[in-house]
Amino acid sequence: MMKQIEIRYATDADAVSLSKLIQRTILASNSKDYSHESLDLLCSIYGPEQVAERIKNEHILLCFEGVNPIGAAGLRGDYLRSVFVEPFHQGQGLGKLLVGEIEEIARQKSVSCLMVHSSITARRFYRALGFNVVKYQSSPEGPTILMSKSLS
Ligand SMILES: CC(C)(COP(=O)(O)OP(=O)(O)OC[C@H]1O[C@@H](n2cnc3c(N)ncnc32)[C@H](O)[C@@H]1OP(=O)(O)O)[C@@H](O)C(=O)NCCC(=O)NCCS
């Protein structure tokens, strides 16, 4: 059974633990859909310094079980970003909980349509949360799917 979950905004002090969470999750969960080159590039994009920058520029929510973060989701402008749940804790509703909180923050900021560059891995997750496919894209980090959800 899931222990008490705490949710709060990320601060500078979370950069290293958040980077570790994201890199672990990329290597464990995205490896079935992406090449080694893409995974390496993705991990470098989420190094501790890059994550510290994200914390400055995005509203990033973290959820904790104990002292370590086990899930994250962020908002930058109209875009949902940095959505990751620790592999061991996936499938327990944490991703849905975090994205729901981000949707609420986006509504408060008068965002009418929330966008996300979904990984191939997360497409069904976003479909389950009411996002629709806008278009398939390719980038140096590999293929992604632009998806959107009306918040009105
Ligand atoms: C995608 C991710 C964030 C989902 O988090 P999660 O906590 O496992 O998802 P939840 O348990 O909250 O699932 C919410 C809903 O999505 C559905 N869902 C989640 N993953 C799914 C999958 N792979 N296939 C089908 N449905 C899925 C669940 O069944 C659930 O549906 P319900 O509300 O009808 O019960 C997580 O798996 C992850 O970190 N993946 C790897 C990193 C990644 O690709 N992140 C996205 C970057 S854009």
CATH of the domain at 100: 3.40.630.30
**pTM metric for this prediction:** 0.96
Which sign does the torsion angle of CA 62, 63, 67, 69 carry? negative
- pLDDT tens-digit readout, 29-53: 999 999 999 999 999 999 999 999 9
Task: Kindly give the distance from the C-alpha atom of residue 99 to the centroid of ligand 1, in angstroms, as a whole number.
Answer: 10
**How big is the CA angle at 74 (ends 123 and 79), to the nearest 5 degrees?**
65
Say if residues 64 and 14 touch (Cβ distance below 8 Å). Answer: no
Give yes or no for residue 96 CB within 6 A of ligand 1: yes
Q: What is the mean pLDDT of residues 52-71?
A: 95
User: Domain containing 70: what range?
Assistant: 6-111
For residue 43, tell me if it sits in a domain. Answer: yes
Task: Kindly give the distance from the C-alpha atom of residue 62 to the centroid of ligand 1, in angstroms, as a whole number.
Answer: 16
Q: What is the mean pLDDT of residues 120-128?
A: 98
Give yes or no for residue 46 CB within 6 A of ligand 1: no
Cα gap 7→85, rounded to integer Å: 13
**pLDDT at residue 62 greater than cutoff 60:** yes
The number of distinct structural domains making up the chain is 1
For residue 68, tell me if it sits in a domain. Answer: yes
Nearest CA to ligand 1 atom 18: 125
Percent of the chain whose predicted confidence (pLDDT) is above 90:
92
- pLDDT tens-digit readout, 11-31: 999 999 999 999 999 999 999
For residue 145, tell me if it sits in a domain. Answer: no
Give yes or no for residue 84 CB within 6 A of ligand 1: yes
For residue 134, tell me if it sits in a domain. Answer: no
For residue 118, tell me if it sits in a domain. Answer: no
Local confidence band at 2 (pLDDT 50, 70, 90 cut-offs): low
> Tokens for 45?
């994009």
Amino acid (one-letter) located at 111: V
Cα gap 3→114, rounded to integer Å: 30
Give yes or no for residue 82 CB within 6 A of ligand 1: no
For residue 87, tell me if it sits in a domain. Answer: yes
Q: What is the mean pLDDT of residues 76-100?
A: 97
**pLDDT at residue 1 greater than cutoff 90:** no
For residue 80, tell me if it sits in a domain. Answer: yes
Give yes or no for residue 122 CB within 6 A of ligand 1: yes
For residue 86, tell me if it sits in a domain. Answer: yes
